[in-house]
Amino acid sequence: MTTILTTIAEAREALVDPRTNGTIALVPTMGALHEGHLSLVRLANEHADSVVVSIFVNPTQFGPGEDFDRYPRTFDEDVALLEGAGVDAVFAPAVDEMYPKGLDQTLVTGGPASRILEGAHRPGHFDGALTIVHKLVSIIEPDLAVFGEKDAQQLFLVRAMVDDLNLRTAIVGAPINREDDGLARSSRNRYLSAADRELALHLSAALRAADGAADADAARQIGRECLDGDGIVLDYFELVDPSTFLPVEGAHTGTALAVLAARVGTTRLIDNQLLMLGVSTAVN
């Protein structure tokens, strides 16, 4: 039986016993759940005695003109899925419960890696995301929190926040969950028309095409060319060092994380993949 908690006081009270008797994992979500979220829940269940999933469409991580209002809200279906997945509690507060004084309040702001890529294209996005993650961690006080690797920059910045502010929650990353044809699962895939859904396959294809390139410059060129087509507007295709999330030099070889964002029709999607560069896989 999954308990629904809607206030901070209720959540703290409900978690006293689970905390005394074991470990707690938090899976923060914005709802509109799909198989990708359920894979995070399974990972959380493996690592902790109790699993709490938060469902909160956080206004402070959406910019003006972004899709806050039309973001899919499917609460009843979400709860049914979480019941089936053996989740102990859902924390689903109202906006006023999380931001009682309004949205312009104390914020958590990331370091240099928060100001590039997604941070450059969505100003304020990471301030909002880090702030709500911090609030959820303060309220639930989980032993660990699980985040998807699809939002690679967010995951990097959440780990940095935990380190930098000396928080006590361990951060666990979960592999990207993909459809059979390679499309990374995302709540925003619901926005795609059938034609856009076809076009969206270019994103994961570009990442696969760039893998094994001679160096970072070659990988960037391959990736960008794959995404230079009708119906797709590329925001960025970049290669970063996974340990700093800063772009690697052009001649870089070895591992690098390829990250991209592109608009397919009116839908903005992101994806990423760890690449191996400049290492011949030919058999002599």
Catalytically active residues are 37
**Structural tokens at position 142:** 């989980």
Give the C-alpha separation, 63 to 139, whole Å: 25
Q: Does 13 interact with a second copy (rule: CB under 8 A)?
A: no
Report, in Å, the least distance between residue 64 CB and a second copy. Answer: 18
48 binds a second copy per the rule CB under 8 A: no
Helix pair angle (125-140, 152-164), 10° resolution: 60
From 11, 18, 86, select the one nearest 49 (Cα to Cα): 18
End-to-end CA distance of the chain: 58
Rounded to whole angstroms, the Cα distance separating 55 from 91 reads: 6
- Of the ranges 40-48, 50-58, 123-131, 217-225, which one interacts with a second copy (CB under 8 A)? 123-131
Please tell me the distance from the alpha carbon of residue 248 to that of residue 155, in angstroms, as a whole number.
Answer: 19
CB of 76 or CB of 104, closer to a second copy: 104
> Cα dist. 130→12, 110, 119, 173, 224 in Å?
21, 8, 12, 16, 29
- Does 89 bind a second copy (CB under 8 A)? Our answer is no
Judged by CB under 8 A, does residue 95 bind a second copy? no
Q: Binding to a second copy by residue 8, rule CB under 8 A? A: yes
Local structure of 176: helix, strand or coil? coil
For residues 158 to 187, the per-residue mask of contacts with a second copy, x marking binding by CB under 8 A and - elsewhere, is --xx-xxxxxx-------------------
Q: What token pair was written down for 186?
A: 């995302």
Measured in whole angstroms, how far is the alpha carbon of residue 243 from the centre of its chain? 17
**101 lines the binding site for a second copy (CB under 8 A):** yes
Least Cβ distance, residue 137 to a second copy (angstroms): 9
107 binds a second copy (CB under 8 A): yes
Distant-in-sequence, close-in-space partners of 160: CB < 8 Å, separation ≥ 6: 110, 111, 113
| Binding track, positions 127-146, relative to a second copy; x by CB under 8 A | x--xx--xx--xx-------
The answer to the question of whether 36 is labelled as a binding residue is yes
| Contact between 189 and a second copy per CB under 8 A | no
Residue window 53-82: x/- pattern of binding to a second copy, with contact defined by CB under 8 A: ------------------------------
CA-based Rg of the chain, rounded to a whole angstrom? 19
Structure tokens at 279: 């290492």
**Tokens, residue 73:** 């809200």
Q: Does residue 125 have a known ligand-binding role?
A: no
- Is 265 labelled a binding residue? no
Under the binding rule (CB under 8 A), the answer on residue 16 touching a second copy is: no
52 belongs to the binding site for a second copy (CB under 8 A): no
106 binds a second copy (CB under 8 A): yes
For the chain, what's the residue count? 284
Closer to a second copy by Cβ: residue 67 or 127: 127
- Cα separation of 151 and 122, whole Å? 14
Query: Which two tokens mark 10?
Result: 């209720």
Chain contacts with a second copy (rule: CB under 8 A): 8, 101, 104-112, 127, 130-131, 134-135, 138-139, 157, 160-161, 163-168
Binding positions for (R)-pantoate? 61, 154
Binding positions? 30-37, 61, 148-151, 154, 185-188
Binding positions for beta-alanine? 61
